[in-house]
Structure 1
């Protein structure tokens, strides 16, 4: 079905142990939940070597490796991603060139009216005026009305043009810098849960744990922290596309290349683990959500919702502000956000910014 876009890859080694991921892939399954796709032959092959040998811990999750893309241009990749989205298949994209992240988010531009893009990177690959053709420019500097909402995690302030932060403020975009995110990763979980798609650049991870990438920037998320972000992404019922970028193999430094491939594999493993443990919360269904109403100055009433299945929280966009699809009606938040609103009569800054997107 996907052969016009994809070429098959070698089957996992028959010598893999029975409990390995490579042994549990389901090549003949009609129902596919998650599809592994290589956007770079070399990177995907090295990643699969480490991924296939890892243990299977995902229950009955149907995962299939569809192979590698035949042509690595955004215009070629976008139709495939649209087809997968229509079939409700979540792709895991194993890429190198950060420019291919464009294909990942532009594929959504024609499918849904509101799209939330989340990127994890050490820098913000965006120009303030849209004239430098940075990776995120097509998402932000659009001339039509189909604007993307952008959330950025892990930026290092010394690598970002200060004008970018002004642009974020003017568009009500969200950004959590590296130090803020590392202080408490649980605070970024609602941001990831609000995203339709996520792209993670390996440069967001500290150099020692993923060295095969361009530049000499030592700091970043620890790999363990990054896998927690990948788990959050997999565990979100709303997120339906996950991509890895930034890996630059170097045959002269084989150990660094293999270490980075292993990091890619570990990120994918934790995404799959999160996916296998999805709760079926909103936007899949509002069944089982418990309502909590708060009287707050400036609002007739503010409604929070808690899932009895996952204990996760959402806040409802106030009436009169919200215009859009049902799945964007509730904004992911935390229990502490609810406590701040109910006990302190104060709306957290992030929710104020989020409401302004609809005001």
Structure 2
């Protein structure tokens, strides 16, 4: 059984939980101990630590994730009814591929059980085996990365800075869309920025998102898998002064983005990577996870699980195109329909709804074509 490779929580971590208030989050989470592995039958979210940093070609001097767990367990939950389990830690395998195999296999098993894996720790190249865990599920994958880099640099020797190349190139190619939230132009070559446009992927600059963080919500609503690189956070907020970044998201902004990921009905896996094992950053990562859990508790189970019968339909004509918008009468969120073209081979085999914003609808009423809709159409036929 693949879960046999998960190491239980340390004795000191268990003792810490024992001393917490009965209202603390740590008391609400089922823990993997030396004597007991959580029963997954009723679990909705599984937390897994990974001590693997070879993708960054560096060793972390403090491999224990106990500091993160203490920070998370000591928080108080909201009015949630979410069954959470901490399955322990994946220690680095004999080779990097061994660790990848374990991450992929464990995530795939959890996905089949309809359990959301939350992978914590290690470098962001672990996003690759998380993406590969969808291979056997017969679906296209929308991947959202919160990162200041695109991570398909040809020149980089660090896998954490080039893993996206493997996702795009290697078969089977299940990637329908890649979206980057918060890239910083000076960290990316013009060749990489041009490639994003050429593949009709989406990218939002740091300033663009910081000025109006709500523009990221429809992107997360369309995601299957979300990966957060903590180096995208400004060092004065994260406490990461080893990989110093004078610019980046604030602590409040990264938590808001995590909540968007949690509240998305479509997100089925989540990862937080590339943070230094120092208590000040553990505290922020714990709060990032807290906001994901809170978002999950408020999921509304709308599209793709609900019915369009409960939506208000709006039709807008722009030149020769007919744009069909839907507004939920439950949450007032908006979608736009991506039609199937009959004369081409479509990746999407039926009309589907793309999350959008009210501003997209207003812009279309003024004759402006929504960029996300245009790119989604192009991706469906290339």
What is the TM-score when the length of structure 1 is the normalising length?
0.90
- Cα pair 2:339 2:352 within 8 Å, conserved: no
Partner of 1:65: 86
**Counterparts in 2 of 1:134-145, with a 5 A limit?**
134-142=162-170, 145=173
Q: For 1:124-177, what per-residue CA distance to the aligned partner results, in whole angstroms no more than 9, with x for missing partners? A: 211269998612111122355534421111111111111001111110010001
Compared CA separation, residues 141 and 258, structure 1 to 2 (3 A): same
Q: Counterparts of 1:225 and 1:147 in 2: how far apart (Å)?
A: 27
Compared CA separation, residues 82 and 235, structure 1 to 2 (3 A): same
- Cα pair 1:43 1:95 within 8 Å, conserved: no
Alpha-carbon offset, residue 285 of structure 1: 1.6
**Pairing partner for 2:292 from 268, 271, 285:** 271
Q: For 1:8-33, what per-residue CA distance to the aligned partner results, in whole angstroms no more than 9, with x for missing partners? A: 21435222112210111245563111
**Pairing partner for 2:348 from 313, 321, 324:** 324
Q: Does 1:293 align with 2:322?
A: no
Compared CA separation, residues 132 and 230, structure 1 to 2 (3 A): closer
Alpha-carbon offset, residue 213 of structure 1: 6.5
- Cα pair 2:178 2:201 within 8 Å, conserved: yes
Gaps of 5+ in 1: 250-256
Secondary structure of the residue aligned to 2:237 is coil
Q: Counterparts of 1:259 and 1:132 in 2: how far apart (Å)?
A: 25
**Pairing partner for 1:200 from 212, 228, 244:** 228
Secondary structure of the residue aligned to 1:136 is helix
- Cα pair 2:348 2:380 within 8 Å, conserved: no
Q: Which moved more, 1:4-13 or 1:181-190?
A: 4-13
Partner of 2:116: 90
Secondary structure of the residue aligned to 1:31 is coil
Q: For 1:262-291, what per-residue CA distance to the aligned partner results, in whole angstroms no more than 9, with x for missing partners? A: 011000000000000000011122252332
Q: Counterparts of 1:177 and 1:42 in 2: how far apart (Å)?
A: 32
Partner of 1:246: 274
Alpha-carbon offset, residue 208 of structure 1: 1.2
Q: For 1:312-352, what per-residue CA distance to the aligned partner results, in whole angstroms no more than 9, with x for missing partners? A: 111110231754266x81111001111221x2122122322
- Cα pair 2:144 2:226 within 8 Å, conserved: yes
Partner of 1:253: none
Gaps of 5+ in 2: 31-37, 52-61, 94-98
Q: Does 1:51 align with 2:72?
A: yes
Alpha-carbon offset, residue 67 of structure 1: 1.1
- Cα pair 1:236 1:275 within 8 Å, conserved: yes
Q: Which moved more, 1:51-60 or 1:171-180?
A: 51-60
Compared CA separation, residues 286 and 111, structure 1 to 2 (3 A): same
Compared CA separation, residues 346 and 53, structure 1 to 2 (3 A): same
Q: Counterparts of 2:236 and 2:134 in 1: how far apart (Å)?
A: 34
Q: Counterparts of 2:368 and 2:104 in 1: how far apart (Å)?
A: 43
Q: Does 1:126 align with 2:190?
A: no
Alpha-carbon offset, residue 101 of structure 1: 1.8
Partner of 2:214: 186
Partner of 1:8: 8
Partner of 1:303: 324
Compared CA separation, residues 199 and 221, structure 1 to 2 (3 A): same
Partner of 2:373: 351
Q: Counterparts of 1:131 and 1:64 in 2: how far apart (Å)?
A: 36
Q: Counterparts of 2:215 and 2:166 in 1: how far apart (Å)?
A: 28
- Cα pair 2:338 2:373 within 8 Å, conserved: no
Secondary structure of the residue aligned to 1:225 is helix
Secondary structure of the residue aligned to 1:138 is helix
Q: How many positions carry a matched residue from both structures? A: 349
